[in-house]
Amino acid sequence: MAEITLVEAVNLALAHELARDPSVVLLGEDIGANGGVFRATLGLKDRFGAGRVLDTPLAEAAIAGLAVGMAAEGLKPVAEIQFTGFIYPALDQLINHASRMRHRTRGRLTCPMVLRSPCGAGIHAPEHHSESPEALIAHVPGLRMVIPSSPARAYGLLLAAIRDPDPVVFFEPTRLYRLFRQAVEDDGVALPLDACFVLRGGTDLTLVSWGAAIHETLAAAGALEDEGVSAEVIDVATLKPLDMATILESVGRTGRCVVVHEAARSAGFGAEIAAGIAESGLFSLLAPLERVTGYDVVLPYSRLEMQYLPGVARILAAARRAMKFQ
Amino acid sequence: MAEITLVEAVNLALAHELARDPSVVLLGEDIGANGGVFRATLGLKDRFGAGRVLDTPLAEAAIAGLAVGMAAEGLKPVAEIQFTGFIYPALDQLINHASRMRHRTRGRLTCPMVLRSPCGAGIHAPEHHSESPEALIAHVPGLRMVIPSSPARAYGLLLAAIRDPDPVVFFEPTRLYRLFRQAVEDDGVALPLDACFVLRGGTDLTLVSWGAAIHETLAAAGALEDEGVSAEVIDVATLKPLDMATILESVGRTGRCVVVHEAARSAGFGAEIAAGIAESGLFSLLAPLERVTGYDVVLPYSRLEMQYLPGVARILAAARRAMKFQ
Amino acid sequence: MNVVASFQVERLEFLGAEGELLAPLPDFARDPEKLVALYRAMTLTRLFDARAVALQRTGQLGTFASSLGQEAVGTGVASAMREEDVLVPYYRDHGALLWRGVTMVESLLYWGGDERGCDYAGPRRDFPACVPIATQVTHAAGVACAMKLRGEPRVAVCMVGDGTTSKGDFYEGLNVAGVWHLPMVVVINNNRWAISVPLHAQTAAATLAQKAIAAGIEGLQVDGNDVIAVHEAARRAIERARAGGGPTLVEALTYRLGDHTTADDATRYRSAGEVERARRLEPRARLARYLERAGAWSGAAEERLRNECTERVEQAVREYLAVPPPAPAAMFEHLYAELPAALRPQREAALRAAGGERERG
Amino acid sequence: MNVVASFQVERLEFLGAEGELLAPLPDFARDPEKLVALYRAMTLTRLFDARAVALQRTGQLGTFASSLGQEAVGTGVASAMREEDVLVPYYRDHGALLWRGVTMVESLLYWGGDERGCDYAGPRRDFPACVPIATQVTHAAGVACAMKLRGEPRVAVCMVGDGTTSKGDFYEGLNVAGVWHLPMVVVINNNRWAISVPLHAQTAAATLAQKAIAAGIEGLQVDGNDVIAVHEAARRAIERARAGGGPTLVEALTYRLGDHTTADDATRYRSAGEVERARRLEPRARLARYLERAGAWSGAAEERLRNECTERVEQAVREYLAVPPPAPAAMFEHLYAELPAALRPQREAALRAAGGERERG
Ligand SMILES: Cc1ncc(C[n+]2csc(CCOP(=O)(O)OP(=O)(O)O)c2C)c(N)n1
Ligand SMILES: Cc1ncc(C[n+]2csc(CCOP(=O)(O)OP(=O)(O)O)c2C)c(N)n1
Ligand SMILES: [Mg+2]
Ligand SMILES: [Mg+2]
C-alpha cells in the first residue's frame, strides 16, 4: 500500500470517482494541463480527457453556477476554487442555489456537486491565500461542510462527498498537502459524512479541532501526556451536519474541553461546538470551555501568520488552565 | 417630537447625515426617484440632488466595490443592498477589501462605508427576500455588524454607523419597518456601537436577542411576568464587536439564559453568545443554555415562514424549561 | 490606427405596430394556425397574469410580477424550443412557462408561497423561476455544458431582464458559453425598466445585443412586441446552437406596461405618457390585427378564446385556493436526500411547536 | 435585418519589433529625453524584478509575480498619469508602482509578507496591489466617482490582466463607469496567459478591447511591447477622461515571458518555442534599438544605467533585509481606527503568547 500525501490522496479519490462514475466531471481554474496550482488534479486531464476535466475561465461565480447547472442536469461536478480566499464570489450560488435546489423544487431537481478549495494559513502564501471561512458555509442549511486532516480521511471523505446526492463544500488544508505521508489503499471505500473521528482516546480532557489545526492539537495532546494528562482528540471533519453526539459523549467523560481552530474566533465554528455543549452537556463541565483560535484580526501577511495561528503553546496553555480549574 | 416608524427613522438619520456631512453619499438600486423599495431613501434625491443619492445599475458586487473605492478616496458612502438575500455578491468586497483596507495599508487608506440592507422574514415576501445572514458578517474581522430593533435605535445606531471611521454593515428588519411608531427626536445624537441595550430589567432569566426577534422576545418576557418570572431582555444591537460584558453581567445575576434569533441555528450568532457564556460565565449557569432560532432548514416560502420563525410560544417553552431546570 | 475587428448589431422584425408586414414572413409564420396558436398562448398568459394581480390585491397571493405587454417574448421563445430543451427562466416568464407545460396552479402556488409550485409535473428538467438576478445565466451554461459533454442535441434557453445585463454573472455566463461554444441561447426581455431604473441609467451601451460582442458570441435585436420576430430569432438561435454553432444573445425590445411587481408603484418614477405610447406597441393587439387582416381571426373567435381562457384561469384559481398549506414537516423534507440525524431533534421540535400552535389556535 | 449599431476596434502602434518606426511618432516621443526616461524606468523595473525572483529562490522573499517582458505596460501607463491621479494596480505592476514613486523597499516588504509595504510614502492615495482578481475595477470606478462628484480634474487608472476580463466585476466596473461617464481608464496587460490558461481558453472574443463595447465605452488595442504606443494610448485616454470624455478600456498586447509567479512552472503548460518567439518582441530591446538608431543611446550609456540600477536595487534589498519583522501587536493595529474593548483581551493574549514563544526560543 503506497504512502501518499494528502494532496495525492485527493488526486487518488478524484481519479477513482472519474473512473467509476462517468457523470463525474471536474472543473476549475488551471486544473487541466497544469494539474491545479497544488497538483491536486495532476494527470487527470491526460487520463480522462478534456471532456471530464475542464479548465474554466477565471470566474468563480461562473464556476459555482456552472456546477449548479451541471448537477441539476444530471452530472456530478467537482468544482475547484483555487483558494478559499476566492470563494466569496461563489457564495451566492452556494447559498442561494446549490443549497436550495432540492428543497425549492421538492426534490425534482437536485444539486449533487462538490466544491473543493485549498484552505488555511501557514505556507507563507501571499495575502488572500490563507483563509478559513468554513463557519460561513456551516451556517447554510442544505450544504455540507467537510475538512479532512489526513491523507486517508481526505481520500475517504472526498469519495463520500462526490457520491453524496447533495452539495458538499470540501476544504483541503494547504499546510497538510505535503506535510506527511500515510498508507492509503485505493479501495473506493468512503468514510461517513456525519461522524467525527476520535483520533486519540483520553480521559481527562477533550480537545476538539479540524483541518490543519488537528496537528498542533495532537502535538499538544502528546505534550500533555508527558504531563500526566490524558487528552482525547476529536477531529470534527464534517462540520455540517455536525456529529455533536460524539463530542458530548467525550466531554461527558472528561468534563473539560478545548476547541481549536484556525479561523477567527468570533462566530467561528468553535462557537457552535461550545453552544452545543452549553445546551446539552453543561453540567458535565468541570472547567470553563476554552477556544484557542485565530484572533479576531485581519489575517496578517506571512511574516506574522505564525503568531496568528493557534500553535501548540497556546493550546497547551488553555489545556493547562482547563486542567487546573477547580 | 414626531412618532415615526423604523423606516422613517432610517430616512431621518440618512437625511441628517447628508445635511451634516458633505462627504456622505448614498448609492444603491432604486434609491433615487423610487426612494428605495421600502422608501427608506424617500425624498432624499429630491432634497440632496443626484450627486448625493446615486441610483446604481443592478450589480451588487459593484455597489460594494464602488463604496470601497469612494471610501478610500475620502467619501462616506452609504450603500444599500436591496435585500440581504442579494448581499452575497457583495461579500467578496466586504471580506476581501472593506474589512482590510485600513489594516493592509497600515492606516494609509481607510474604508468608512456603511452597507445597509433590509433583512429578515415575516412579511410574506418572495423567496430570497427574507434572509438573516448576520452571522456571516459577524465572523469577519475588521467589520462591524449592527441591527436595530426600534425606530430610536435605528436612528441613533445609523448615525453612529455613518460616522464610524470603519466599515459597518447595517441590517434593517423589514418586519419592523412599519410595525410600530416611536417618538424620535432628530437631534443628531448617535448611540454607541459597542454596547448591548437592556430593554427590560429582570432577575430570574436573561433573554438575549436582536433585530425583529426582539419583539417576540419582549412579548415572551411579558407573558413570563404573568407567570411570576422576571425576565431581563437584552438587545445585542451591535453583534460585532460584541458587548459580552453586559450579557455576562446579566447571566451572572439570573443564572439562566435563552438566546433568540431568526437565522438558522447552526453557526448562527447565538452560538457566539453561548460560547462566550460557556467560557466566561459557565458557573453562574443554573440551567442549560437554550437557543430558540430558525431551524437549520432552507427558509421556507411564505406559507410556512411563521412556522420557521422563533415565535413567542417557542421562546416561552424554552424559558419555562430553563426556569424549571434544577 | 488599424482596424483589427468590426461588428454589427442587426434587428429582426416582421410585424409593424399596426400589424402590417415589414418584411416577408419566415416559413413557420406562413401557416396561420401556427400564429393563432401563439396568439392563443399570449392571450391565456395575459388573462392569467391579470387574474394573478387581482388575487394579490385581495390578499390571496403573494407579491406577483406581471408580464403585461411582454407576452410575445415568453411565448415566442418557448414555442421555438423542443420539449427536451431546458428552459432556465426568471420570475417574469409566465408566457414561457405556460407554453412549456407548467400549470397555472403550479405558478399560483409558487407566487402564493408554496414550494410545490416548483415541482413541475410537465417540464421536469426546466428550472424554476430565478429570483437572484443573473444567477441563472451560469446555470444555463452548466446545463448546456452537460448537454454538450454528453453529446445530446439539446439546448439550454435562458431568460433575463434588461437590468440583469449589468450584473457580473450575466457576463461570466455568456463568456463561458462563448469560449466553450455551448448550446445556449440567452434572451433579454428588454422591457426598458429594472424596477425604477430606466435602461439609460443601467448602461451606456446603445443596444443590449452588443453585450454579445464582449463574449465573442452572436447577438441580435428583435422587436419583442412582434411574436413572429421573437419566435424566428429564437428558432434560428436555438437551431444553430443545436447544430453545434454556439451560443446567441437575443435582445427582445418590449416594454413593461405594468408595475414592476404588485409591491411596486410605477407612477412614482415614470410618466403616464411614456406608458401610453408603449401601450400602442403592445404585442397581442398587433398580432390580432394581422390575423384579422389575414382572415385567420375574428371577433367571434376572440370571444370564444376569452371565455375559454377565463374558464381555464378560474378553474386553476379554484384548484390553487383549495390546496391546503404544506405541513410544517415539509420544511425538513427535501432539504437533503435524507435528513441527517443531527437535524431530527429540530424536526421533532418543529412538529411539537406546530402542534402546540394548533392546539392553542 | 437592419443594422442598428456598428463598432470597430483599432490598434495603435509606433515601434516595430526591430525598433523601426511604423507610424509618425506622437508629440511626446519626439523628445528623446522623454523616451530615455521611459527606457531607464523599464530597465530599473526589469532588474528589480529579476532580483526579487532571486530573493524568492533563496528564501528571502515570499511568492513573487515577475513582470518580465511586460515593462512597457506599467511604465507606459504610469508615465501618462499626473501625480494627483490614482493608480489602482494589480499584483504585476512593478513598473507602474516604481514610476508612481512606490519604493523598491516597500515592494519588497509587501512581497516579503509585511503590510508596511503597502504604506506607500510616495503616492499616498494609490491603491495597494490587488490580489483578488478583478475586484479592483469597481474600486477604480468608486475612486473615479468620488473625483467626479467633487468636480476634481483627476483620473483613476486601473490595471488588470487578460484573465481578469472573464470575471464579472471587471464587467460590472466597466458598465458603471460607462453609464456614469466616469474619469477612469482600465488597462489590460494582455500577456496571453492567466497562469496556465491561454487567452483562447479564456474567451471567444477576438480582442479584449471589444469588451468595451458591452459597456458602451471607448476601447482600443495597443502594442503592449511598444512603450510609445502604450504611453500615447494611455495619455489620450487619461486626458479624455480628465476632460469629461468618459472611460476607456485599453488592451495592451504583450507576453508573460516568465512563470506566472515564483510558485509556478510554466514549462508544464506552454512550449519553449512560443516563449522564444515572444521574447523577440520584448519591449526593452526594441526601444533600445530605436534609441540607438536615433543616436540617443549607446553601449556606454547602457552600462552606466545597468550599474546605477543594480546599485539602487541592491541598496533596496539591503534595506529590506534589515527591516525587523513587525511586532505581534501589529495584528491588532489598524484593524479599526480604535481597538474595540472587546478585542483587548485577545490582544493581551497574543502578546503573552508571543512573549512565551520568545522566552522558549
Ligand atoms: C441580485 C439581485 N439584486 C436585486 C434584486 C431585486 N430586484 C428584483 S427585480 C429587479 C429589477 C430587475 O430588472 P430587469 O432585469 O430589467 O427585469 P424585469 O424585472 O424588468 O423584468 C431587482 C433590482 C434581485 N432580485 N436580485
Ligand atoms: C478571484 C481570484 N481567483 C483566482 C485567483 C488566483 N489567481 C491569481 S493570478 C491568476 C491568473 C490571473 O491572470 P491574468 O488576469 O491574465 O493576470 P496575469 O497574472 O497573467 O498578469 C489566478 C487565477 C485570484 N487571485 N483571484
Ligand atoms: Mg426590465
Ligand atoms: Mg495574463
Rounded to 5°, the CA angle D273-D277-D278 comes to 115
Domain for residue A192, yes or no?
Answer: no
- Whether the CB of D159 is below 8 Å from some CB of chain B: the reply is no
The string of pLDDT tens digits covering residues A173-185 is 999 999 999 999 9
The string of pLDDT tens digits covering residues A73-114 is 999 999 999 999 999 999 999 999 999 999 999 999 999 999
Phi, psi of B298 (to 5 degrees): -60, 130
Tell me which of C171, C195, C255, C264 to substitute to probe ligand 1's pocket, judged by most ligand atoms within 8 Å of the beta carbon. Answer: C195
Total of domains in chain A: 2
Phi, psi of D203 (to 5 degrees): -160, 155
| B43 lies in the same domain as B65 | yes
Q: Is B161 helix (H, G, I), strand (E, B) or coil?
A: helix
Domain for residue B206, yes or no?
Answer: yes
Decide: A307 and B295 in contact? Cβ < 8 Å. Answer: no
Mean per-residue pLDDT, A236-259 = 98
Average pLDDT, rounded, for chain D: 97
Residue D360 scores a pLDDT above 50: no
Q: How many residues does chain A have?
A: 326
Q: What range defines the domain where residue A93 resides?
A: 2-184
- Would you tell me which residues 78-117 of chain B have a C-beta closer than 8 angstroms to some C-beta of chain C? 85-86, 88-89
| A179 lies in the same domain as A252 | no
Alpha-carbon distance D325 to D354, whole Å? Answer: 13
* DSSP annotation string for A128-189: TSS---HHHHHTSTT-EEE---SHHHHHHHHHHHHHSSS-EEEEEEGGGTTT--EE-----P
Residue C331 scores a pLDDT above 90: yes
Ramachandran region, residue A36 (left: φ > 0; alpha: ψ -120 to 50; beta: rest) = left
Mean per-residue pLDDT, A243-263 = 98
pLDDT at C360: 45
Q: Which ligand is nearest to the CA of D192?
A: 4
Q: How many CB pairs under 8 A join A and D?
A: 123
Percent of chain A with pLDDT over 90: 99
Q: Is B286 helix (H, G, I), strand (E, B) or coil?
A: coil
pLDDT at A289: 97
Percent of chain D with pLDDT over 70: 98
| B306 lies in the same domain as B259 | yes
D130: Cβ contacts below 8 Å, ≥ 6 apart = D88, D89, D90, D91, D136, D139
Domain for residue B191, yes or no?
Answer: no
| A279 lies in the same domain as A301 | yes
| B176 lies in the same domain as B303 | no
The string of pLDDT tens digits covering residues B150-163 is 999 999 999 999 99
Nearest atom (ligand 1) to Cα of B29: 23
**C-alpha grid cell, residue B252:** 451572572
Domain for residue B140, yes or no?
Answer: yes
CATH number at residue B167: 3.40.50.970
Mean per-residue pLDDT, B193-209 = 98
pLDDT at D265: 97
The string of pLDDT tens digits covering residues D209-265 is 999 999 999 999 999 999 999 999 999 999 999 999 999 999 999 999 999 999 999
| B174 lies in the same domain as B213 | no
Farthest-apart Cα atoms in chain B, separation: 62
Q: Is B243 helix (H, G, I), strand (E, B) or coil?
A: coil
For residue A205, the cross-strand partners are A231
pLDDT at D1: 72
Q: Is A312 exposed, middle or buried (0-12, 13-18, 19+ CB in 10 A)?
A: middle
* Cα distance from N-terminal residue to C-terminal residue, chain C: 78
* Cα distance from N-terminal residue to C-terminal residue, chain A: 48
- Per the model's pLDDT, the better-predicted residue between A145 and D357 turns out to be A145
pLDDT-based confidence at A213, cuts 50/70/90?
very high
Q: Which amino acid is at C57?
A: R
Mean per-residue pLDDT, D195-200 = 98
C281: Cβ contacts below 8 Å, ≥ 6 apart = C17, C225, C255
Cross-chain CB nearest to A135 (options B139, B239, B242): B139
D267: CA distance to ligand 4 center in Å? Answer: 16
With CB atoms and an 8 Å threshold, state whether C167 touches D172: yes
Check pocket membership of D164 for ligand 2, CB cut-off 6 A. yes
The string of pLDDT tens digits covering residues C154-163 is 999 999 999 9
**C-alpha grid cell, residue D290:** 530605436
| B16 lies in the same domain as B156 | yes
| B46 lies in the same domain as B174 | yes
Residue with cell 436577542: B209
Positive or negative: CA dihedral B297, B300, B305, B307: negative
Of the candidates C117, A29, D125, the residue with the CA atom closest to the CA atom of residue B108: D125
Residue A1 scores a pLDDT above 80: no
Check pocket membership of D194 for ligand 2, CB cut-off 6 A. yes
Distances (CA, A) of A133 to A119, B279, C52, C327, D281: 8, 23, 43, 35, 44
**C-alpha grid cell, residue D86:** 490614482
The number of CA neighbours under 13 Å toward the Cβ of C96 is 32
Residue D344 scores a pLDDT above 70: yes
Mean per-residue pLDDT, D165-169 = 98
Q: Which amino acid is at C194?
A: A
Q: Which ligand is nearest to the CA of C253?
A: 3
**C-alpha grid cell, residue D20:** 523601426
Decide: A250 and A232 in contact? Cβ < 8 Å. Answer: yes
Kindly name the residue from B129, B139, B215, B261 that is annotated as catalytic.
Answer: B129
pLDDT at C354: 85
Phi, psi of B173 (to 5 degrees): -70, 115
Residue with cell 439562566: B256
Given B125, B160, B184, the domain boundary residue is B184
Of the candidates B109, B65, B106, the residue with the CA atom closest to the CA atom of residue A88: B65
Of the candidates B299, B203, B305, the residue with the CA atom closest to the CA atom of residue B254: B203
With CB atoms and an 8 Å threshold, state whether B72 touches D343: no
Mean per-residue pLDDT, D8-15 = 98
Mean per-residue pLDDT, B68-84 = 98
pLDDT at C358: 52
pLDDT at D355: 82
Residue A216 scores a pLDDT above 50: yes
For residue B321, how far is the Cα from the chain centroid? 28
Alpha-carbon distance D165 to D158, whole Å? Answer: 13
Q: Is D15 helix (H, G, I), strand (E, B) or coil?
A: strand
Give the E-state strand segments of chain A in sequence order.
Answer: 3-4, 24-28, 53-55, 76-80, 114-119, 144-146, 168-173, 182-183, 197-200, 205-209, 231-235, 238-240, 257-264, 290-294
pLDDT at C356: 67
pLDDT at D357: 57
Domain boundaries, chain D: 10-326, 328-361
Of the candidates D246, D178, D211, D162, the residue with the CA atom closest to the CA atom of residue C7: D211
The string of pLDDT tens digits covering residues D37-55 is 999 999 999 999 999 999 9
Q: Is A324 exposed, middle or buried (0-12, 13-18, 19+ CB in 10 A)?
A: exposed
Decide: B102 and A297 in contact? Cβ < 8 Å. Answer: no
| A132 lies in the same domain as A224 | no
- Whether the CB of D167 is below 8 Å from some CB of chain A: the reply is yes
- Would you tell me which residues 41-70 of chain B have a C-beta closer than 8 angstroms to some C-beta of chain C? 55, 57-62
D337–chain B nearest CA distance, Å: 6
Domain for residue B266, yes or no?
Answer: yes
Instruction: Write out the CATH class of domain C10-326.
Output: alpha beta
| B58 lies in the same domain as B170 | yes
Cis peptide before A126 (omega within 30 of 0): no
| A136 lies in the same domain as A24 | yes
Q: How many residues does chain B have?
A: 326
Count helices and strands (H / E) in chain D.
12, 8
**C-alpha grid cell, residue A20:** 467509476
Average pLDDT, rounded, for chain A: 98
**C-alpha grid cell, residue A25:** 466531471
| B177 lies in the same domain as B239 | no
Phi, psi of C106 (to 5 degrees): -60, -45
Cross-chain CB nearest to D149 (options B51, B71, B244): B51
Residue B15 scores a pLDDT above 80: yes
D112–chain A nearest CA distance, Å: 7
The string of pLDDT tens digits covering residues C266-325 is 999 999 999 999 999 999 999 999 999 999 999 999 999 999 999 999 999 999 999 999
CATH number at residue A218: 3.40.50.920
Residue with cell 411539537: C352
Of the candidates D223, D324, D339, C18, the residue with the CA atom closest to the CA atom of residue A304: D324
C88: CA distance to ligand 3 center in Å? Answer: 17
Residue A324 scores a pLDDT above 80: yes
* DSSP annotation string for C79-93: TTS-TTSEEE-BTT-
Q: Is B155 helix (H, G, I), strand (E, B) or coil?
A: helix
With CB atoms and an 8 Å threshold, state whether B68 touches D139: yes
Residue D173 scores a pLDDT above 50: yes
Ramachandran region, residue C104 (left: φ > 0; alpha: ψ -120 to 50; beta: rest) = alpha
Decide: A58 and D163 in contact? Cβ < 8 Å. Answer: yes
Given B149, B184, B219, the domain boundary residue is B184
Decide: B61 and D138 in contact? Cβ < 8 Å. Answer: yes
D111: Cβ contacts below 8 Å, ≥ 6 apart = A126, D52, D56, D61, D62, D63, D64, D117
Decide: B25 and B75 in contact? Cβ < 8 Å. Answer: yes
What ipTM describes this predicted complex? 0.98
The string of pLDDT tens digits covering residues D262-296 is 999 999 999 999 999 999 999 999 999 999 999 99
The string of pLDDT tens digits covering residues C63-121 is 999 999 999 999 999 999 999 999 999 999 999 999 999 999 999 999 999 999 999 99
Residue D160 scores a pLDDT above 90: yes
DSSP conformational letter for B50: T
With CB atoms and an 8 Å threshold, state whether D119 touches B96: no
Q: Which amino acid is at D140?
A: A
Torsion on CA atoms A294, A299, A304, A306, rounded to nearest 10: 40
Mean per-residue pLDDT, A28-42 = 98
Check pocket membership of A86 for ligand 2, CB cut-off 6 A. yes
Mean per-residue pLDDT, A127-138 = 98
pLDDT-based confidence at D354, cuts 50/70/90?
confident
Residue B81 scores a pLDDT above 80: yes
Alpha-carbon distance B171 to B81, whole Å? Answer: 10
Domain for residue B190, yes or no?
Answer: no
The number of CA neighbours under 13 Å toward the Cβ of B278 is 35
DSSP conformational letter for A57: P
C131: Cβ contacts below 8 Å, ≥ 6 apart = B85, B126, B127, B128, B129, C90, C91
DSSP conformational letter for C19: S
Residue D358 scores a pLDDT above 90: no
* Cα distance from N-terminal residue to C-terminal residue, chain B: 48
Cross-chain CB nearest to B307 (options C131, C264, C328): C328
pLDDT-based confidence at D359, cuts 50/70/90?
very low
Of the candidates A283, A93, A279, A171, the residue with the CA atom closest to the CA atom of residue B265: A279
Decide: A141 and B298 in contact? Cβ < 8 Å. Answer: yes
Decide: B7 and B43 in contact? Cβ < 8 Å. Answer: no
With CB atoms and an 8 Å threshold, state whether A62 touches C173: yes
With CB atoms and an 8 Å threshold, state whether D215 touches C203: yes
